[in-house]
Amino acid sequence: MTTRAEPGDGRIAPSRGPIMSEQRHLINLAYRLLGSLTDAEDVVQETYSRWYAMSRQQQDAIEYPAGWLRKVAGRICLDLLGSARARRESYVGEWIPEPLPDRTEWMSGRRVTTVDPADHVTLDESISMAFLIVLESMTPPERVAFILHDVFSYPFAEVADIVGRTPAACRQLASSARRRIRASPTPATPTARQADVVRTFKQAWEAKDVSAIIGLLDPDATVIADGGGLASAELRPVEGAEHIARTLVDIVGGATNLTFHECTVNGQPGLVAQQSETTVTVLAFDIGSGRIRRIWAVRNPEKLHPWSTGRGTPRTGGSTDDTGRPLMEVVHRWRRPARGELD
């Protein structure tokens, strides 16, 4: 396959350093494709396991190892997206993408191909909760083609190699996905203004001030909660400013040792709710014209692992598997000993 060269890539040798340096890019890519950091980490682990399962001769025969890794990861993500819809039919309540704390490494993918800027969204926009929700409405091929091309600037020839369709077909898939994005406009609100609204909302909620909360909400606002059957949550969206305000005040009134903290959720101002210093909810907001239009409340504890050891701080200094071990430690379990190493 043809893989564009990033700074420092060139014809990289399949040595451990350059290969492992792809981890960050793959995590960035897989999260946007899947909306789940947990699944993204699994994809990266599986990708590296396939690399290290090959013989050294097979690895040496691959001209661009970074491109091979990206192709494999992309195809795994495409397969997972295809099965995700069936899995979510049995999901309890509403499904919301896994929220991300303010970790630069999850947001630092690089665009390196020059194309029409009108066809692109920024990398920061591509992790916002509102954007990820729109991605959920796309077919798996649309989502993969759109993310690979419009967000990460993969040329359509490379996208086609991953999706298994012609470049022309992938161009059409990305165009269709773009129309979905444009049909769900989310006018930009300056981050500082968003933070002011979230802060005022937090203060009104803590004060159990129904009128103040209503004043901060769009009349047709919606709250969507994701408990996944593992935490209490409304199974259907709560709609309407007054209904939402009274529901939120009831939640605070019935909880003990509940505190709220301002934080960054998926690159935008949000809130974390903690009970006895344990994170129980992460809230993301969609704000327009100075009012809150949508709130996504993630309560499923399986989606809160990155928030479990302090606000916005993952459990470890890097990615982990489901046992809590660093991702690279898990990857190294699959790595064949290099020449001269002992088993």
pLDDT tens-place string over residues 124-136: 778 999 999 999 9
Q: Where are the beta strands (DSSP E) in 99-243?
A: 217-226, 238-239
In a domain, 5, yes or no: no
Asked if residue 295 has pLDDT above 70, the reply is yes
58 plus 153 within the same structural domain: yes
Which residue, of 155, 186, 217, is where some domain finishes? 186
Specify whether the CB–CB gap between 252 and 206 falls below 8 A.
yes
In a domain, 326, yes or no: no
154 plus 215 within the same structural domain: no
pLDDT per residue as tens digits for the range 37-75: 999 999 999 999 999 999 999 999 999 999 999 999 999
- Token pair belonging to 236: 């259907």
Which residue, of 132, 157, 186, is where some domain finishes? 186
Higher pLDDT, 155 or 118: 155
161 plus 202 within the same structural domain: no
pLDDT band at 186 (very low <50, low <70, confident <90, very high): low
Asked if residue 112 has pLDDT above 90, the reply is no
79 plus 123 within the same structural domain: yes
pLDDT per residue as tens digits for the range 212-241: 999 999 999 999 999 999 999 999 999 999
In a domain, 167, yes or no: yes
Question: Which residues, at least 6 apart from 324, have a Cβ–Cβ distance to it below 8 Å?
Answer: 315, 316
Structural domain containing residue 269: 191-307
205 plus 56 within the same structural domain: no
In a domain, 179, yes or no: yes
- Straight-line distance from the first to the last Cα atom of the chain, in angstroms, rounded to the nearest whole number: 33
In a domain, 337, yes or no: no
**How many angstroms separate the CA atoms of 168 and 161, rounded?**
12
Number of domains in the chain: 2
Estimate the crossing angle of helix 65-88 against helix 156-163, to 10 degrees: 50
101 plus 210 within the same structural domain: no
pLDDT band at 256 (very low <50, low <70, confident <90, very high): confident
In a domain, 10, yes or no: no
Instruction: Report the CATH number that the domain containing residue 277 is assigned in CATH.
Output: 3.10.450.50
Res 56: pLDDT: 94
pLDDT band at 123 (very low <50, low <70, confident <90, very high): low
In a domain, 214, yes or no: yes
300 plus 247 within the same structural domain: yes
Q: Residues 77-101, buried b or exposed e (16+ Cβ, 10 A)?
A: bbebbeebeeeeeeeebbbbbbbbb
86 plus 40 within the same structural domain: yes
167 plus 235 within the same structural domain: no
- Token pair belonging to 338: 């290099």
149 plus 35 within the same structural domain: yes
**How many angstroms separate the CA atoms of 68 and 203, rounded?**
50
88 plus 59 within the same structural domain: yes
pLDDT band at 84 (very low <50, low <70, confident <90, very high): confident
Which residue, of 134, 163, 186, is where some domain finishes? 186
174 plus 287 within the same structural domain: no
Structure pTM? 0.79
